[in-house]
Chain A
Amino acid sequence: MSAPLLEFDGVGLSFGGLRAIQDLDLRVDEGEIVSLIGPNGAGKTTVFNLITGLYVPGAGDIRLGGESIAGLAPHTIARRGVARTFQTLRVFLNMSVEENVMAATYGNTSSSMLQSVLRTPAMRREERGVRELARETLGFFGDRLVGYRLAQPAFSLSYANRRRLEIARAMASQPRLLLLDEPAAGMNPKETGEITKLTARLRDDGGYTILVIEHDMHVVEGISDRVVALDHGEKVAEGSFEHVATHPAVVEAYLGKGTARQESR
């Protein structure tokens, strides 16, 4: 059997005295949709930050496709096929929708400044490819981000469209593993429903393996092949949605807070 796409091997991370992640084992196989759940402050976003190289694990190892990525620069990890969205939206506000997406192809293109100035055939071909990829990626979201919106600055988009743009931007970096941090946060019920369908399409049509953090249990139920629950930086349960949702440790972690969707920060 081939190595899992993503593997955490006894990963630990502390911020000063706070042990944000403790002895975490995690695996995500090619083609899976895995949900990461847990109460606020459980360490979910920290897991994403570890995968993307923003934090270096204090203990253990992180492997992508069998190779260790712990300690690599974030842009290198991104080039190896990891892309993410952010819990607190981080689109490039003062760039156009199209440019936002095109910018993310930087690591997978190679034209030098000199080639750009000379407009060599190779550079023009590459640029055409990038533009096509951007349109195609944005087209994934129906007509919401295309047409006249291509040229609009990202700040002019609605909240939901900025979330979509962030996903499109992540797709344009041509990842194998897509990390979505609360894609449904701040969306209305209709849009939340769309997220469920979108996630499935991302896997089925886009071919991405997906690790998603989500508070909305309906979304989690709808999309997950597997669910991993974290609490205080430790894995407390793992398995099917039914298994995890009824697991005593999970219920306890959420106790008093309820399993209803919580407002994200």
Chain B
Amino acid sequence: MINKEKMKILSVRSIAHQTIEMVLESEQISKVALPGQFLHIQVGNLTLRRPISIANNCSETGRITILFKVNGQGTNELSSYQSGEMLDILGPLGNGFPLESRSESTVLLIGGGIGVPPLYYLGKTFRCKGIKVISILGFQQANDVFYEDQFSELGETIIVTNDGSYGFKGLVTDVLERISAFDCYYACGPKPMLKALTDKLTDKEGFISLEERMGCGVGACFACVLPTTDGNGYKKICKDGPVFPAREVKL
């Protein structure tokens, strides 16, 4: 059930270069929000809402955390909101990562840049189920790195930066050999990263979370569609996704 709700901002803080962590107080949405789902946030009086992933959620306290990069007009304006102010939010939107009836004992989380946020809520949920979590997080450079400690608490965490200014130098795909064994991977990040990953990990089951510019966010306007790999269909990222089995859609 999708709700439209006014959420109170409980805290706003900068956690890396141009990267903001915002904690929100939710009445309804928090009760049902699952890892991989997102919020559609009304910022000022912009025409279109801005989609932002749920990075953490506690249904008991009603606290939802979002992490976002200041990227343009909307996210810039969003970063200027102060604690105590209210945000008009539609959510939870989309289908999350599949969690039911899964039998893996070790999962690999792979995040790139602003694709990292949804993986934190996912990893925490896996951890609670007693599943072993390994994470590879890729960033541009040292001052972009965030949530290393939080992910480390979930399990082994490898940080990669493009310029080598922190952790390993290179791309997330360059360190895959360091991971001994895992049953399934879950990835979110820029399209080229997801493409490289799915091309490399052909023998593994995987799920990827995608981004595209959105209109309505609920599946009505056909702005965020993507062809399926079988060549005779399409998926709406906002409603059928944003999470898809690794080879279901054409990247």
Q: Is the A/B pair a real complex?
A: no
| A-binding residues in B (CB < 8 A) | none
Q: Which A residues form the contact surface with B (CB < 8 A)?
A: none
